[in-house]
Structure 1
Amino acid sequence: MSTPTPRLTGSEIGYLWTGYMIDDMSQCVLGVFEQQAGDPDVLRSIALALNLARFNNQERTALLTGEGFPLPRGFAESDCAASLPPLFGERFFLYYLLLGARLGLHFYAESLSVSIRQDVRSFCAERLSAASRLYGEILDTMLSKGLYIRPPIIPVPEAPEQIQKPSFLQGWFGDTRPLHSVEIANVYKGMELAGLIHSICTAFAQTMERKELQSLCTRGAQTAVEHLERLGGLLERDDLPLPPSLLNEVTGSQTPLFSERLMLCHISGLFGSLITHYGQALGSAMKHDVVAAFLALIAGAGNYTEDVTEALIRNEWLEKTPGALDREALLEEHPK
């Protein structure tokens, strides 16, 4: 007698459901970019990412519906309009793809680490490998075009060193040290993502039709600038270079490319990714000022994301992630 297939765990469902929403949105956004790109190399990169998103969701659909779970409503063709004037330049397309693939690497690694069922583990491992290939191909394209600015270079030490003074942990004043290599990596990576968010919020604010939502996008851009200034100050103090701005890749178009729902959902997701990065970066930060910076930025991004979430709820645009039973609600609904 064959052993019955175990049910999906809550962790597996959570990552499958969330991944479906991410790739469903990606298909809308990348479909627009594909219509507007002209460079053959950029078009090839977009097509690779778009085909990957489509295949991913075909696999997720089989896994979720096989368990009887309804698929998310997601996004539709009405959420985008590819024939309208471009909102971004082609350099932006490549940076968007690169950072999206980088976020995909983290997402699939986390998905794999909480997956138990063999078919789900295989799916996550294969998607992680595919995301790695996509990241490499996009990065190679950008490097060949001279479009990607490498993170800071540090000197090679002559020999291993031991930490000898408690001041290694300090960072307020007095006897402080330069950033160590992992801190540099996390600060620089945070700036790259904040820079992408800055340009996206600026572009969406230009095209948002309702004033209250336009103001919300403008706040997102301002929040991203605050992050860039705080993180940039940490790098500049050690005479380290900053990542390039993408703001000049935003055109002057004021015609909406995407629905208000898609734009707010996208902004919410990007800020969520930024918070996740800062949380992970905290674990390797060993200077007081670096720790303080990440904590403050998490708080600021969290406050802003809460306001975006409230706007999504008010407009009935936010889909509920599958979760545990609300026992109290069941008791209240039980007939007396």
Structure 2
Amino acid sequence: MKTNKVEIVKLTSAEISALWATNINVSVVICMMTHFLETCTDPEILKLLEETKQLAEKHMNEIEQVFVKEKIVVPEAFKAEKHVVHKAPKLFSDIYYIQCVLQMSKFGVASHTLGLTISAREDMRILYKNLMDDVSQLYNHVVSVMQEKGIYVRMPFMNYPNEIDFINKENFLTGWFGRRRSLLGIEVTHLMINAFQNEMGMQLCTGFSQVTQDVELREYFLRGKNLCKHIVSSIYDVMEESEVPAAITWDQGVTNSTVAPFSDQFMLFIIGILSNLGIAAYGVGLSSTMRRDISAMYANFLTKTGAFGEDGMNLMIERKWMEQPPQFEAAK
């Protein structure tokens, strides 16, 4: 009798951890889309939010089926009925909503690609390939809608290279004193990515700080806002010096509402996600730059964001809000 190999090979620690993280992240998307759908007034953006929520619910169902099949406890994650305040006033603009979907789809493509490449079992590779295809399609749809509405922010343009050249000056790596060389295209790419993410984070921290009733969390969110502001300003200074356009414009993202649309636990967790994404992005930016002053700037971002993220994690743990990720058993 032929045995199905997939059925007898257990999931690896990498596969379990990826499924757990994906489940948590998808639950976050569902909660955010629940509030966005209640308050969005733009018909085109509303359709996109519906598509995003339906896709997240589909992915949640597929992942939970794996947990049940493997007899692994399903994470509590975030349930909309517990963490979304029904009929809360609009806290962010419709433009901010679609910017969130853009960032979520980018993160989804990256995280599902990682899930695919760390998976050994064929059914897991197929699962993550399908998740990645779904989110890639969503990303393309979001970009198309934003371009049609004239709100998509492109990376800066540069002249096409027209000859082959080699670096022949040691000062190519410097940046501390004197006239600095112009920025490389790859350096501008990562500076823009980090500026954009911190613009989003600044708006989010602003909104959360004006609706939470917890004084300690309000101070933490305001600290996050100031950190994002510092990072954006530092990046723009570098780009302005090289006369690279760095304008990121949209409408005012935060309304004057003082009613929280989400639980304090959920809002603090979201800021934690942004901190982790920032640390990852600064690491990639650091590895991609060839100017020492920019390397030092990224190192500074990493230090400050790491400390900020750790403080947020401690707030979660103190309030017993942090769910335990999959962990190896302690040695006896």
Please classify the TM superposition score into its range, dividing by the shorter chain length. over 0.9
Which residue does the alignment assign to 2:82? 78
Deviation at 1:240, TM superposition (A): 1.4
Deviation at 1:174, TM superposition (A): 2.3
Deviation at 1:244, TM superposition (A): 2.0
Of 156-165 and 135-144, deviating more is 156-165
Superposition pairs of residues 179-328 of structure 1, within 5 angstroms: 179-244=183-248, 248-327=252-331
Of 278-287 and 242-251, deviating more is 242-251
Of 304-313 and 99-108, deviating more is 99-108
TM-score, normalised on structure 2?
0.96
Encode CA deviations 1:84-121: one digit per residue, 9 max, x unaligned.
21001111111111111111111111111111110111
1:154 has 2:158 as partner: yes
Which residue does the alignment assign to 1:59? 62
Encode CA deviations 1:60-86: one digit per residue, 9 max, x unaligned.
111122222111111221211241210
- Alpha-carbon distance in structure 1 between the residues aligned to 2:151 and 2:251: 15
Deviation at 1:245, TM superposition (A): 5.2
Distance change >3 Å, CA 243–CA 262, structure 1 → 2: farther
- Alpha-carbon distance in structure 1 between the residues aligned to 2:179 and 2:9: 57
SS of the residue aligned with 2:78?
coil
Which residue does the alignment assign to 2:25? 22
Q: Which amino acid is 1:258 matched to?
A: F
Which residue does the alignment assign to 1:133? 137
SS of the residue aligned with 1:248?
coil
RMSD across aligned positions (CA): 1.3
- Alpha-carbon distance in structure 1 between the residues aligned to 2:170 and 2:193: 27
Of 301-310 and 59-68, deviating more is 59-68
Deviation at 1:324, TM superposition (A): 1.0
Deviation at 1:243, TM superposition (A): 4.1
Contact kept? 2:151, 2:250, Cα under 8 Å: no
Aligned counterpart for 1:37 among listed residues 37, 40, 49: 40
Q: Which amino acid is 2:47 matched to?
A: R
Structure 1: unaligned runs, 5 residues or longer: 332-336
Of 185-194 and 281-290, deviating more is 281-290
Distance change >3 Å, CA 243–CA 6, structure 1 → 2: farther
Which residue does the alignment assign to 2:16? 13
SS of the residue aligned with 2:282?
helix
Distance change >3 Å, CA 243–CA 117, structure 1 → 2: farther
Which residue does the alignment assign to 1:111? 115
Structure 2: unaligned runs, 5 residues or longer: none
- Alpha-carbon distance in structure 2 between the residues aligned to 1:164 and 1:262: 52
Structure 1 residue runs of 4 or more that deviate by more than 4 Å after TM superposition: none
Contact kept? 1:195, 1:245, Cα under 8 Å: no
Distance change >3 Å, CA 81–CA 246, structure 1 → 2: farther
